[in-house]
Amino acid sequence: MDALTIIIMLILFIIAMIFVFSTALLTPYLGKKNLISILLLGLIVGAVGGAFLLSPIVEDIPDFSRTIIEENIEGTDEISMGLSTNRNVTQLIENISSISGVQKVTYQGIEIRTDEPFESPVQQESFFSKIKASSSSIEDIEDQGNNSYFIKIKENGDPQEVLTGIYDVFGSVTYVHLRYTAMDANATVSANNVTKIMNAIQDSGAIIHSVSGPTEDQVNIVNKYTPNQTDIVIISAVLGVIVALAGFFIDSIFSFRKRRKKEKKESTKDQIKRKTVPKTQRSMPKTRSKTKKTPKRDSIDIFNDESFENSSKQNIGSNRNFKQLTKDDNLTKKSSQNDEEPKKGRLSRFRSDKKQDKKEEKQSQPQQRRAPKIRPKKRD
Tens digits of pLDDT across the chain (380 residues)? 777 888 899 999 999 999 999 888 887 666 666 788 888 999 999 999 999 999 888 888 888 888 888 888 888 999 999 998 888 999 999 999 999 999 999 999 999 998 888 888 888 888 889 889 888 889 999 998 888 999 999 988 899 999 999 998 888 876 788 888 999 999 999 988 888 999 999 998 899 999 998 888 888 888 888 888 899 999 999 999 999 888 888 876 666 666 666 666 555 555 554 444 455 555 555 555 445 455 455 555 555 555 545 555 444 554 555 455 555 555 444 444 444 444 444 444 445 555 555 555 555 555 555 555 566 566 65
Taking the CA of residue 194 as centre, how many other CA atoms within 13 Å lie in the half-sphere pointing to its CB? 32
Model-level pTM greater than 0.75?
no
Cβ–Cβ under 8 Å, residues 95 and 203? no
CA distance 108 to 153: 6
Taking the CA of residue 138 as centre, how many other CA atoms within 13 Å lie in the half-sphere pointing to its CB? 22
Distances (CA, A) of 161 to 11, 96, 149, 309: 60, 19, 18, 124
Burial code (b: 16+ CB inside 10 Å, e: under 16) for 109-139 equals bbbbebeeebeeeeebeebbebbbebbebbe
Q: What is the DSSP string of 263-332?
A: HHHS-HHHHSPPP--TT-PPPPPTT--SS-----SS---TTT-GGGTT-GGGGTT--TT-----HHHHHH
CA distance 308 to 211: 94
